[in-house]
Structure 1
Amino acid sequence: MIYQGSAITVARGGDEIATLTFDLKDESINKLSSAVVEELDQALQAIRKESGLQGLVIASGKDVFIVGADITEFHQIFEKGEKYLVDMNQRVHGIFNAIEDLPFPSVAAINGLALGGGFEITLTADFRVMAESAKIGLPETKLGIVPGWGGCVRLPRLIGADNAIEWIAGGTENKAKTALEMGAVDAVVPKEKLEAAARDILEQANRGELDYQARREEKQSPLKLDSIEQMMAFETAKGYVAGKAGPHYTAPVEAIRVIQKGAGEGRERAQAIEAKAFAKLAMTDVCYNLVGLFLNDQAVKKKAGQYEKQANPVELAAVLGAGTMGGGIAYQSASKGTPILMKDIKLEAIELGLKEARKLFIKQVERGRLGKADMAEKLTSIRSTLAYGDFEQVDLVVEAVVENPKVKGGVLAEVEKATGEETILTSNTSTIAIDRLAGNLKRPQNFCGMHFFNPVHRMPLVEVIRGAKTSDVAIGTAVAYARKMGKTPIVVNDCPGFLVNRVLFPYFGGFNLLIEQGADFQRVDKVMEKFGWPMGPAYLLDVVGIDIAVHANEVMAEGFPERMAREGKNAIQVMQENERLGQKNRKGFYVYEEDKKGKPKKVSDDQAYELLKPLVKEHREFTDEAIVARLMTPLCLEAVRCLEDDIVGSPAEADMALIYGIGFPPFRGGALRYIDAMGVAEFVEQADRLSETLGPLYAPTDRLREMAKAGERFYSTAGQR
């Protein structure tokens, strides 16, 4: 044994080939923490002292290769400042360069995921051989930074500037076939032949059949691009990527600049450029929040895994109520491998549900993600029915009928009689209290909410709602089924609107108040889209459906009358009364025309303004900042109340639910991170100023005032900005 540590071992074989193996103790994956990077330095020092070696294989003892740097360290490391980060990256460059400069050939045997720093390590090797099932990539831009350990330097020299820009700016995970075609790897083999293939490459290099020194020279030299090629490769890409990423996400464009600036430089100078760019981006609020988003996502998944331990297996599911929502749920279940019954009382509704599922499968085929035979097989796993005949075999039912408590209650009582005693019943309600729906059930312990968001195939969140009598098994089973469907389940407790809609409707309440004071709803939409929302409140209401919004608003007003009930009509009700239901009938706050792709395109409509005129009680001018404050304050306050009322278990779950459920701007981190970023004391002052004229919807809670006085935050002060 040449070297042995907690994460790395180096062993010498009889053929004078050393194998450096990453195998982090007590972990299921390999990641590059500060300690692991230090071990790598020590291991390389030991290798350089060893005489007679003729090659190095870099391998993994896990199912993955290396998933990247240890992101749990990022906030703590980043708070040390820009200079520290530049120096740290330059030190890592020195360690990685030591692999590239070994006096014998090296090969990376990529057995599984090699991402970020994990992929950057493989780039230091002279050759790369990849398992057929493995994936590689540099996803750092998704965290608001650029690859900082050589990715922006070595990858363009290996696969060309155009391809490297696509991989780095897009942050994609790339399959073995693509990697081989691009030249990122030298061979792709079955996993069981990986070690043999790696050693064979080293033998060819030692026999002079493969020129590893030429490979090194290419990676360490400037890119071979003339001025015209540089302009085509970089300037065109910057414009395209900037348009796609949007103004709030600067890392993808900065990555292109780093590659461009380093293109004419040798290895060390190009690495210095990369190190500085990484450090600069790491100090931004966007990076801080995106790293926080990643950590929150991991916390949510970990909690879901704990719930899942209580689950019963779901081998056959059912959805009650076909149509678009039922068809979407059926599609999602079948596409992820769980057969499903789709029941309705009307044949035309079943046909609509099947049509929706078929349309979604066809799109997958057209995009090359699914073969026609696979589509046919998955479609046959959706069985439509008008009766409950096969429901005794069903493990979990999703009720997705009309949002009416009497109808839902009747259907749930009916299906309970047709299913087994262990069957879990769930309701895809968006607002109706679970305890109310459980009132007619004989086995309320087997019942919970399972709120999908529309469109089901795109929206990642599922709210799993616990009623007063809901068992852990019911929650665990619903969570497990949601995860199997490829969704992110977040468990919340019962209340009107649950978490997401309860938080969303104060935002709409703030919008209604702006309309009453003379704000132009189109300007409000533009301001909030500039703030980072995918669509402003008027446009969002049109997409959700005005009738659905009116119903939900009534539920919220009944549940929280002090804050959410208001006298007189509001803008949403006026739209409904005039049969302007949004996109579903092509007129709401906007009117809708089909674009070239057949999708609805919003167009301004003077009639909407005429209808809203009677609501306007005064005419005021609002700055962009005032509009943001008027809408974000009540939303954030309601998120605080949900946390204080134990509707949601943690700040991480609250923020992830809002990001995944209603498109809260990810780069802002969520409602509670948004308060932290502003400062709790400053947020309370802002809320107090607004509540003086706008009422209880804007009033801070007593606990929030206490936090402001004590200087507390919702998240740890590590990495505080």
Structure 2
Amino acid sequence: MNKKERSYKSFTVTTDYRSVVTITLNVQGRPMNVMDASVMSELSQIVRDLQHRIGCAAVIFRSAKESGFLAGADVGAIADLSCPVEAAKLIDGGQRLFDAIEWLPMPTISVIHGPCLGGGLEWALACDYRIARDNSSTKIGLPEIKLGLIPGWGGTQRLPKLIGLPAALSMILTGKHVSAAEAVKLGLIDRAISPDDWDDDVDVFVDLVLASSPPRRRHAKNAYLGRWIEKTRLGRALVFAATRRRIAAKLQHYPALGAAIRSVRSSYGLRPKGFMTERNEFIDLLATPTCRHLLQLFFARESARSLRSWTDPSAVIHEKLLRKIGVIGAGAMGAGIGQLAANHGYEVVLVEVDEQAADRGRERVTTLVRKWARHKGMSHANESELLDRIRVVTEADAIADADLVIEAIVEKIDVKQNLFRTLDRIMSPETILATNTSSLSVDAMANATGRGRLVAGLHFFNPVHKMELVEVVRAKQTDDATIARLLGFVRAIGKTPVVTADTPGFLVNRVLFPYLGEAVLMVAEGHSIRDLDNQTRSFGMPMGPLELLDQVGLDVAWHVARSLDNIVSGLRPVLDQLQMMVDDGRMGKKSGSGFYRYRNGKRTAEATFPRLKSAPSHAGAADGHEARFVNDSLTTTQRRLLYPMLTESIRCKEQGVVDKCWAIDLAMVLGTGFAPHTGGPLHVVDSIGQHIVHENLRQLQELYGDRFASPRMLVEMAKQNRQFFPKSNPQSNDHAVSTH
């Protein structure tokens, strides 16, 4: 029987018959535990009491929340830090607290389940032992780099000593988390415990610690090479040099990478100097534009996942849960959507046109599930259970009782309309019908039914399991309750939703295609394919526009561009060029040739490019004109490629395709990889300045035509000296603000 001691707001402290003190964290009013000022203050008091406690055999730190151990520091509090003095106070307080835990005279054990991230892992690293529940919800890592920061409470100092320099650098520089099983292999935790034996085995482990015979921790670094790296200055220097070469292209845009390397390097010197380096690097990073932009994206993601950002509160309150999902079409997208829904506990039925197509669909689903199971370390029983949640059939009656049906069939409006008419007849009156179209009219599909309020778009991006964004498309008749239920579904399957109006291309494709189209035109003019891609990569894009077109497929790109022809200016020559390449069998990577050549799926060289006779000729047009552009820190090539994305983003805001500036930027970062360090296209406009963008567009329009005309909203903002986002607060709203 545990004896309860002093009461705290966020902690419960108990002592059992073995004189083991258990400190249990449960931050009130939060779905997950976070380390804020109140939690730190209470934990500091508890640790001070333990320092003078006589007869304490061991200390256990754990969470009372089933959601997990600790998600990290309160990001809102970090964003609110207004000066280096406040930042120093936060870092010094955390470092002192975890040092005090490390120096406690009795054994300390961190008992981890669910997320143990950032400050949560730094807390655990300060303990003598760490054990974790071995299931898919356990995630252990230091994700600070994703916010443009580094661990500031000892993570860069303690982790290398525990798991070795190469593994520690990898975890810190990528921000990726590991599972309990992976953490054991790294030597990061001492034991991964099956959920079935959780309570009993935690007690067994504590008894082993009390008997001074805990299980031996694995140390991958104890191999000869690992020991040489850890113990010699030369070995460490080689690792640091190789790491810097690997990330060299990103260092300019992501200063936290360099700061992390310097901080980890300092962990091999005098201890006080190492912690001071970590502290100073963290404080310096807080003021960088990259950090502020990544923090804004973090809060944008949180806002996007809130139902109240998109729907009437009453619709949220009455939200009806979805349980059974039907998917029409078991191709790459349909199978991916079905597998993802099944992963998160939904019953899924995929419908194909005939048994042959159904067999191919079953093969796709089985392959996807097995890959997922291997990635997650699932048992054979759990893998079989997941497969049992997915059926592939040929009879539409099998989905008659589904709560949601998603069509993922061929991109032809008449075929989709016929399907929606059929579904309207056979489905329950309250079933939601959704389309995964990337560009076709959702209204046209809704009008083919008698349930327009229950019809919407759910545009997933390919590959489904990797791409975080889902565009939730609101047609004219779609009601708030339907949007609320779809948002709940998107969140439940681990994706981030952005609600868009029903216009051709919705948001992401509409903004993306002027950029892709300009690249096609520039190649037709004679520009180097590789140079165009390299220049956009140097701006911060994950891949160049022509690489991306090859990945997507030129036939798919042609189809989407055709749907945008009446909305986006200047696409006709692009359509002709893509049509010519498609007619020639050059579909991109999948056909072995597009803008590049491919062998066995790997790019080999630029393809010879058949120039379209009707392609405009602007080669050399900018010669002698460059001096008339206002400096925006972009090259001539970058400016011509990127400005179409900036202007189309503004038009989407102006026309209400998405009415929230932060959502436009978030969607472009998540949906296209738009350089995250910039914050997104509207943030780029703010960074350059509306008046400069407007003036440079005037020059581009003079050179290349009316597709570079400034949006009306940009002209007005330039006149009034307004911006899309306030400069000071990453958590602020997105109303355009004056810079006076």
Q: State the TM-score, normalizing by the size of structure 1.
A: 0.85
2:116 aligned with 1:123, yes or no? no
Identity of aligned residues (%): 31
Amino acid in the other structure paired with 2:25: F
Q: Report the secondary structure of 1:526's partner residue.
A: helix
Match of 1:300 in 2: 304
Cα drift, residue 118 of structure 1:
1.8
Residue in structure 2 matching 1:31, options 16, 34, 39:
34
Mapped to 2, the partners of 1:4 and 1:678 lie a distance apart of 53
Residue in structure 1 matching 2:499, options 488, 491, 498:
491
Cα drift, residue 20 of structure 1:
4.3
2:360 aligned with 1:360, yes or no? no
2:592 aligned with 1:586, yes or no? yes
Instruction: Describe the shift of the 1:5–1:698 C-alpha distance in structure 2 as closer, same or farther (beyond 3 A).
Output: farther
Cα drift, residue 498 of structure 1:
1.0
Match of 1:603 in 2: 605
Instruction: Describe the shift of the 1:197–1:123 C-alpha distance in structure 2 as closer, same or farther (beyond 3 A).
Output: farther
Match of 1:58 in 2: 61
Mapped to 2, the partners of 1:631 and 1:35 lie a distance apart of 49
Mapped to 2, the partners of 1:292 and 1:238 lie a distance apart of 32
Cα drift, residue 200 of structure 1:
4.5
Mapped to 2, the partners of 1:5 and 1:122 lie a distance apart of 21
Match of 1:259 in 2: 264
Cα drift, residue 263 of structure 1:
0.9
Within-5 A mapping of 1:696-707: 696-707=706-717
Match of 2:679 in 1: 669
Match of 1:682 in 2: 692
Q: State the TM-score, normalizing by the size of structure 2.
A: 0.83
The alignment yields a C-alpha RMSD, in angstroms, of 3.6
Instruction: Describe the shift of the 1:552–1:39 C-alpha distance in structure 2 as closer, same or farther (beyond 3 A).
Output: same
Q: Deviations over 1:286-344 (max 9, x none)?
A: 33322222222222122389866554443332222343333333333334433333333
Mapped to 1, the partners of 2:133 and 2:614 lie a distance apart of 67
Match of 1:632 in 2: 642
Amino acid in the other structure paired with 2:124: T
Q: Is the 8 A contact 2:328 2:408 kept in 1?
A: yes
Within-5 A mapping of 1:266-415: 267-303=271-307, 310-364=318-372, 367=375, 369-415=377-423
Instruction: Describe the shift of the 1:305–1:8 C-alpha distance in structure 2 as closer, same or farther (beyond 3 A).
Output: farther
Cα drift, residue 549 of structure 1:
2.1
Mapped to 1, the partners of 2:718 and 2:80 lie a distance apart of 23
Of 328-337 and 545-554, the range deviating more from structure 2: 328-337
Mapped to 2, the partners of 1:186 and 1:375 lie a distance apart of 26
Mapped to 2, the partners of 1:360 and 1:305 lie a distance apart of 33
Match of 2:630 in 1: none
Q: Is the 8 A contact 2:594 2:607 kept in 1?
A: no
Q: Deviations over 1:1-39 (max 9, x none)?
A: 986554456567787665544332322222122443344
Amino acid in the other structure paired with 1:277: E
Instruction: Describe the shift of the 1:699–1:80 C-alpha distance in structure 2 as closer, same or farther (beyond 3 A).
Output: farther
Q: Report the secondary structure of 1:451's partner residue.
A: strand
Match of 1:216 in 2: none
Q: Report the secondary structure of 1:402's partner residue.
A: coil
Amino acid in the other structure paired with 1:258: S
Q: Deviations over 1:467-490 (max 9, x none)?
A: 111123332333333334433232
Mapped to 1, the partners of 2:574 and 2:19 lie a distance apart of 85
Q: Deviations over 1:577-604 (max 9, x none)?
A: 444332343332223221xxxx242531
Of 418-427 and 311-320, the range deviating more from structure 2: 311-320
Instruction: Describe the shift of the 1:367–1:24 C-alpha distance in structure 2 as closer, same or farther (beyond 3 A).
Output: closer
Q: Deviations over 1:334-364 (max 9, x none)?
A: 3443333333335443343333323323434
Match of 1:572 in 2: 578
Mapped to 2, the partners of 1:8 and 1:649 lie a distance apart of 42
Match of 1:642 in 2: 652
Within-5 A mapping of 1:9-158: 19-45=22-48, 56-63=59-66, 64-77=68-81, 80-81=83-84, 85-86=87-88, 88-132=90-134, 134-158=138-162
Instruction: Describe the shift of the 1:167–1:321 C-alpha distance in structure 2 as closer, same or farther (beyond 3 A).
Output: closer
Match of 2:619 in 1: 619
Mapped to 2, the partners of 1:185 and 1:510 lie a distance apart of 51
Mapped to 1, the partners of 2:65 and 2:638 lie a distance apart of 48
Match of 1:192 in 2: 199
Q: Is the 8 A contact 1:296 1:653 kept in 2?
A: yes
Residue in structure 2 matching 1:655, options 665, 675, 684:
665
Q: Report the secondary structure of 1:465's partner residue.
A: strand
Q: Is the 8 A contact 2:310 2:499 kept in 1?
A: no
Q: Is the 8 A contact 2:562 2:575 kept in 1?
A: no
Q: Deviations over 1:103-149 (max 9, x none)?
A: 55544343543221122122223444444454432222222322111
Cα drift, residue 369 of structure 1:
3.6
Of 460-469 and 304-313, the range deviating more from structure 2: 304-313
Mapped to 1, the partners of 2:291 and 2:32 lie a distance apart of 24
2:728 aligned with 1:718, yes or no? yes
Instruction: Describe the shift of the 1:642–1:224 C-alpha distance in structure 2 as closer, same or farther (beyond 3 A).
Output: same
Of 534-543 and 52-61, the range deviating more from structure 2: 52-61
Cα drift, residue 659 of structure 1:
2.0
Amino acid in the other structure paired with 2:618: E
Of 84-93 and 469-478, the range deviating more from structure 2: 84-93
Where does the alignment leave 5 or more consecutive residues of structure 2 unmatched?
215-225, 627-633, 731-738
Of 707-716 and 225-234, the range deviating more from structure 2: 225-234
Mapped to 2, the partners of 1:195 and 1:328 lie a distance apart of 37
Of 13-22 and 705-714, the range deviating more from structure 2: 13-22
Where does the alignment leave 5 or more consecutive residues of structure 1 unmatched?
211-222
Q: Deviations over 1:474-512 (max 9, x none)?
A: 323333333344332322121111111111122234334
Q: Is the 8 A contact 1:9 1:43 kept in 2?
A: no
Mapped to 2, the partners of 1:55 and 1:342 lie a distance apart of 53
Match of 1:557 in 2: 565
Amino acid in the other structure paired with 1:159: I
2:438 aligned with 1:435, yes or no? no
Q: Is the 8 A contact 1:518 1:620 kept in 2?
A: no
Q: Is the 8 A contact 1:106 1:202 kept in 2?
A: no
Mapped to 2, the partners of 1:421 and 1:168 lie a distance apart of 51
Within-5 A mapping of 1:521-532: 521-532=529-540
Instruction: Describe the shift of the 1:202–1:389 C-alpha distance in structure 2 as closer, same or farther (beyond 3 A).
Output: closer
Q: Report the secondary structure of 1:437's partner residue.
A: helix
Q: Is the 8 A contact 2:229 2:235 kept in 1?
A: no
Instruction: Describe the shift of the 1:9–1:617 C-alpha distance in structure 2 as closer, same or farther (beyond 3 A).
Output: same
Mapped to 2, the partners of 1:406 and 1:690 lie a distance apart of 40
Residue in structure 2 matching 1:421, options 420, 429, 434:
429
Match of 1:217 in 2: none
Q: How many matched pairs?
A: 696
Q: Is the 8 A contact 1:575 1:589 kept in 2?
A: no
Instruction: Describe the shift of the 1:238–1:408 C-alpha distance in structure 2 as closer, same or farther (beyond 3 A).
Output: farther
Mapped to 2, the partners of 1:114 and 1:715 lie a distance apart of 33
